[in-house]
Structure 1
């Protein structure tokens, strides 16, 4: 079976190897009465077939797509390609094992010249409609046609500057309509053909784009790094769009049910008003300014309360700390994804112990989850003393610990430094999953923009890289190989220190002290000894004869 239908009323729970981890998580959330947009899933076997046949869809796929679309239409009372209440969909990847940010997604599929008037009529919100259209054009060019984001990002930056607004979501209708026209022209110029105006063509192209992302350089590098072998490919989840970009009563966010850096039992959350999900996870938009802890401040008390309830429900269902993505559409929360949270070894140890204390898991389960960690090597660094040196600037911490090393401005330089025994600090405009190969050999990551829950920050944290994002005083001159933090100028290769505790950035390499969670380590070692003793008793033939 290659087609699976999802709605919000609960459904079966197929194997993640077949439907992908994302769809399996959606099904379990639906069964727990959490709100998910209706969807259909094309299974992982179709991705394997696609690549086995040289990048051609199986002949049965168009009918599977048509059946899936009919299901979503029935659930939403909207019509894909309709001129009155048009259905728009997201096309999302879903590997059998979570690969944060390594595979592609296309949002707002189905918006075109014929459906745009109907969406305007249905919503009465031209700002939202034109904003969604310009987003689709750029995303489609990048994912489906392999375009660089640069020409489209330049158009957005130019519109922001010319109209004197701080961000794209503050452009008015006239500016957004003009920007969309310019993006359509750029698409024709970059791709060599007009932007497709047939929603079915858009959908088929987006599905193929997601299948192709399975073999991108970053995806292959991540699977090699994580030793993920023998996987068939990615599933594709086609889901009714829910919109976080339809005003200040809407937004998109990413949350961890526990702090993935330290393991503390606090909701760790980034949220952007009037934004779609890619604005948070792609690493291109800054959240927080380094003056606080980076926690979203745009949540109403009621929304914060409901998200804590969601967090508790997820942990009771999945019995582990979760990383979940959600959209708020005019006050309504919609769940888009959940997965076991990527975490530092320090956090893994604390979370396992806390979950035992809370009765969510038993000791054997905790030991099984910690089996891949060398407990005696779990540590973090802090500055040897309160530094008398003033920081060059501050950023939003996305990990923990302290790292010192020479500045590297690109993947090649970072890799070369590491090969010579100098784990560098990678300094970038934004956190990008394209840098995964460099992150694996770096001691730290410092970015001018981005969010601590972006996909690249998630990967960096899992790898134990000290990560600071959205350092608003940081500028990078790649041609001159120079970075500036405030008024201070540094050359590529100069040493800097990142403090993942408070987000401070210092010049030079500072003295560090190592810390270890000794109490937790000793506790888990005692569990291991008890488990070994129990197994020895069960395997002792003389004891079995006495009991018999």
Structure 2
């Protein structure tokens, strides 16, 4: 019998389910589960981790007949969506996304908007009556594919964008005109030709195969290997690849994209928590390209969509009996769910969520105790700023991960590692963090970013590591080349002393005295349960 490598998800035609994470990865398994629950998920299919393991063990060769299976699934997807992949009139575009059995935020690769070329972009513009959207989507695809698949530095594409903004005196990508976007597409393609000595691939089928293989290969990138070592994950698992029909948050003022948590991942408060951006795609929120809006604002801007989102998150939390981290896109006033997973949270949040869920009857006390990993417990005692201390506040951002930290400013992850080797405390200051910063983030005492919100890469990773983090300090100007930054009218050079309060979102001049935080009522209750159950290993 031929081994099954591909599992579809499309409403009733769904093969997988939530307990198949080892085979479908967390993303693929949960997409299948959501589709089975009747939640509006863009249809697609997931190529299993077994295919990745085969590929990596056989010198980057796909399993026999796998590609025929991919083409058959793609044909089924075309029928479901009623669009043709690569069509010049009304093209089906897909995302190609990684997904391991455990959450590894940003450590592996994703390509969005795949299937565009010089012909299909015109069809997309004509079909949607939105030329700006079509060429914005095309420039996004070229830069992402160029970075992930063709190994061209993402900074090279970003540098072109920044120069074009400066030339035109604009601040955001959304301020570009159609003519601007067409010029940027040409410059991006010229960059690809210059760097690879080849033209950007126009054949959608070739694009798809190259992207699938690139995502498989991303399992073994340096950052992914480092992250697995840090967290004790096996190198043998491999990643699944999910190929999913695209929905677009960048179609104008009636479209948006966002990330949300069913409870506060920093404090555990039972309150819907998240962020979104109008006229944007998912990577804009996570990468911290601009500071997003609080999810509460969505209730004002799109009240019906907000209520739909609330219904979905409540359904998911009750189903999974755990705090969920969800990704969503709104395309022309229609809500789609792109992901759900158990949300990464601080120790304080983990304890409060677990205790509250016992009170709500969702889980029992033994399950609650198992929700707080023993190695996370030391985070409960994270320091806080001494209330008696006098503070010279330089700036304010978002309190992205609680606790306080003090140390010497560094602007690169490498310098943070150098200080750590000398037992010196480092505060990593960046415009925004990326997955490549993971080693520096792991040894820094705290993290400050100029861009990004509460669901940006810096915020999510800092909370998981128990690091204090302040994100979205909009007045902060960082120049890592000259090893200095400017904030609150003060120029700060590398190794200057700085303190941050990740709870209040404050950046403070100098070294401020820190004290141990107070234990919460939820922690005290959990300790009494541990005595009852007698299984907690502290």
Deviation of 1:99 (Å): 0.7
Superposed, which structure 2 residues align to 1:302-313 within 5 Å?
Answer: 302-313=304-315
- Map of 1:212 onto structure 2: 217
**Cα displacement string for residues 138-181 of structure 1 (whole angstroms, at most 9, x for unaligned residues):** 00110001110122112211222233332112212111112111
Contact 2:275 2:453 in 1 (8 A): yes
Deviation of 1:201 (Å): 0.5
Deviation of 1:387 (Å): 5.1
Q: Distance in 1 between matches of 2:517 and 2:185?
A: 53
Is 1:7 equivalent to 2:14 in the alignment?
no
**Cα displacement string for residues 433-480 of structure 1 (whole angstroms, at most 9, x for unaligned residues):** 111111111110011212221234211111011111121111223233
Q: Distance in 2 between matches of 1:318 and 1:279?
A: 28
Contact 1:91 1:236 in 2 (8 A): yes
CA RMSD of aligned residues (A): 1.8
Superposed, which structure 2 residues align to 1:216-295 within 5 Å?
Answer: 216-229=221-234, 231-287=236-292
Choose which of 163, 170, 195 in structure 2 pairs with 1:190. 195
Contact 1:399 1:468 in 2 (8 A): yes
Deviation of 1:114 (Å): 2.3
- Map of 1:441 onto structure 2: 443
- Map of 2:480 onto structure 1: 478
Contact 1:243 1:328 in 2 (8 A): yes
**Cα displacement string for residues 406-449 of structure 1 (whole angstroms, at most 9, x for unaligned residues):** 11111221112122222311011212111111111111001121
2:393 partner SS: coil
> Which blocks of at least 5 consecutive residues in structure 1 are unaligned?
289-293, 534-548
Deviation of 1:295 (Å): 5.2
Is 1:469 equivalent to 2:447 in the alignment?
no
- Bigger mean CA deviation after superposition, 400-409 or 237-246: 400-409
Aligned residues: 528
Deviation of 1:500 (Å): 1.3
- Map of 1:361 onto structure 2: 363
2:112 partner SS: strand
Deviation of 1:532 (Å): 3.5
Deviation of 1:494 (Å): 1.4
Contact 1:10 1:32 in 2 (8 A): no
- Bigger mean CA deviation after superposition, 438-447 or 297-306: 297-306
- Bigger mean CA deviation after superposition, 65-74 or 238-247: 65-74
Superposed, which structure 2 residues align to 1:311-330 within 5 Å?
Answer: 311-330=313-332
Q: Distance in 1 between matches of 2:387 and 2:216?
A: 51
- Map of 1:297 onto structure 2: 297
> Which blocks of at least 5 consecutive residues in structure 2 are unaligned?
none
Is 1:417 equivalent to 2:419 in the alignment?
yes
Deviation of 1:374 (Å): 6.3
Deviation of 1:61 (Å): 2.5
Contact 2:107 2:435 in 1 (8 A): yes
Superposition TM-score, scaled by structure 2 size: 0.94
- Bigger mean CA deviation after superposition, 8-17 or 316-325: 8-17
Choose which of 122, 146, 156 in structure 1 pairs with 2:161. 156
Structure number with bigger Rg? 1
Q: Distance in 2 between matches of 1:52 and 1:182?
A: 38
Q: Distance in 2 between matches of 1:287 and 1:230?
A: 35
Superposition TM-score, scaled by structure 1 size: 0.93
- Map of 1:62 onto structure 2: 67
- Map of 1:405 onto structure 2: 407
Is 1:170 equivalent to 2:175 in the alignment?
yes
1:233 partner SS: coil
1:325 partner SS: strand
